[in-house]
Structure 1
Amino acid sequence: MGIIQRFKDIMTSNINALLDKAEDPGKMIDQYMRNLESDLGKVKAETASVMAEETRSKRELDECTAEIDKLQQYAEKAVMAGNDEDAKQFLAQKSSLVDKQASLQQAYSLAAENAGKMRQMHDKLCSDIALLDSRRDAIKAKVKVAKTQEKLNKMGASIDGAKGNLSAFDRMEEKANKMLDEANAMAELNKEPKSADMDALKSKYDSQPAAAVDDELAALKAKLGK
């Protein structure tokens, strides 16, 4: 039956298409569930249609069988009444209905088989949806934990990168300090002594002999009573 294979293909293609482009399992499972719910609605409609066909085929078969039984009874009554020609007509009509009955029986058997398959598909799909729905929260919880861990991993990488930046800043500061020390040293070396300072330094030592002469003169005067 084409409808059964078609819905098998639909349900298979749904999950395969989602898996091919899946980036977020949480979103994927939600989309898959929506697809399954949509498929379930279609399967229900088709199942009802096939079951209705089974019921119609069974009704036609039962009506045909009942008519055959009536013709058989009429033929028997005609024979008992001695009306063989009437019995032949009833039997001829019965023979044509027997051929129809075989065709109706074949149609009913096929309709019943299709209805059984559709009911099985419907029940299996309902069961799958219930199972997946019970697992959906667990799947989404795992996805949430995985995303949290991923964020932590990125934060850890950022912190490690910041440590590396701090180390680089330390090296740059050390280099800047060295450059400043060298510049200060060079400035000290380039500094020339002032001439006024040198004159003051010389006068310090030039004055010492004059002071010694004055002291000696004072001592001599004291000795002479002057």
Structure 2
Amino acid sequence: MGIIQRFSDIMSANINALLDKMEDPSKMIDQYLRNLESDLGKVKAETASIMAEETRAKRALDDCDKEIAKMQTYAEKAVLAGNDADAKKFLEKKGQLSENRASLAQTYAAAADNAAKMRQMHDKLCKDIASLNARRDSVKAKMAVAKTQEKINKIGASVAGSQENLSAFDRMEAKANRMLDEANAMAELNQSASDPDGLDALAEKYDSAPASAVDDELAALKAKLGK
């Protein structure tokens, strides 16, 4: 039975191993379920066909047993009636039926074994599909969380990069402030070097004052001193 071997291969597949190989279980799990549903339809059809064969084989065997029993009964009746010739005919027929029964029994045993295997595979496939359906939402939820975590990680990396940029900007700003302070200090030092006594600055004060104001101040100073 090629169909039995084919579906035995299907049933022997390890669902967890297949899921581990999937790049995106949230998408592939639906496809795998569709494949299993398709396989289940085929298994059901084959199982029904093989179970029907088992039923036909059993019916043929039962009919043969009935005929054998019937020939035995007629042979006994013929003997009781003193008709040995008729009894021999019934017994000959019984012998033919018995030989045929051995073949029918072998056929029925094979059909029953095939039907049992197919029913086992059918039940296993139904159980696997039910289990996978129950786990599908959990798998998809885990994948959604994983994808969200990946996004968060990417955003976190981007934010970390922004912080580095801000730190670099702060360093540049501090450097600019330091350069400005140094330039102002240098200007102050240059001014002190050109006028160590401060007279230039003092002269500038008087130079900038109006002449009348200086004359008035000088007259007031002389009057105070009696000059």
Identity %: 72
CA-to-aligned-CA distance 1:24-82 (integer Å, 9 cap, x gap): 12122222211211111111111101100100101111111111112112222222222
1:82 counterpart SS class = coil
**Deviation at residue 21 of structure 1 after TM alignment:** 4.6
Instruction: Measure the CA separation in 1 of the matches of 2:13 and 2:183.
Output: 76
Structure 1 counterpart of 2:25, one-letter code: P
| Equivalence for 2:220 | none
1:105-139 deviation per Cα after TM superposition (whole angstroms, max 9, x unaligned) = 12112211221221122122212211221121112
After superposing on structure 2, the runs of 4+ consecutive aligned residues of structure 1 that deviate more than 3 Å are 11-21, 168-184
Equivalent in the alignment of 2:79: 79
Deviation at 1:96, TM superposition (A): 1.1
> Aligned partner of 2:67: which letter?
E
User: Within 2, Cα distance between the matches of 1:138 and 1:15?
Assistant: 15
Determine whether 1:135 maps to 2:135: yes
- State how far apart, in whole Å, the 1-side matches of 2:132 and 2:140 are: 12
Q: Answer whether contact 2:11 2:121 (CA < 8 A) is retained.
A: no
Structure 1 range deviating more: 18-27 or 139-148: 18-27
Give unmatched runs, 5+ long, in structure 1.
190-200, 209-226
Tell me, in whole angstroms, the C-alpha distance in 2 between the residues paired with 1:164 and 1:79. 114
Deviation at 1:85, TM superposition (A): 1.6
Distance 1:166 1:12, change over 3 A: farther
1:158 aligned partner, one-letter code: S
- Structure 2 unmatched runs, 5+: 185-189, 191-203, 212-227
For 1:33, the equivalent position in structure 2 comes to: 33
> How far apart, CA to CA, are the structure 2 residues paired with 1:160 and 1:90?
100
Q: 1:3 deviation in Å?
A: 2.8
Residues 2-151 of structure 1: matches in 2 within 5 Å?
2-13=2-13, 15=15, 18-19=18-19, 21-151=21-151
**The residue matched to 1:4 in structure 2 has which SS?**
helix
Q: In structure 1, what residue type is equivalent to 2:125?
A: L
**Alignment RMSD (CA, Å):** 3.3
Contact 1:11/1:39 (8 A) holds in 2: no
**Distance change in 2, residues 1:136/1:16 (3 Å):** closer
Amino acid across the alignment from 1:163: Q
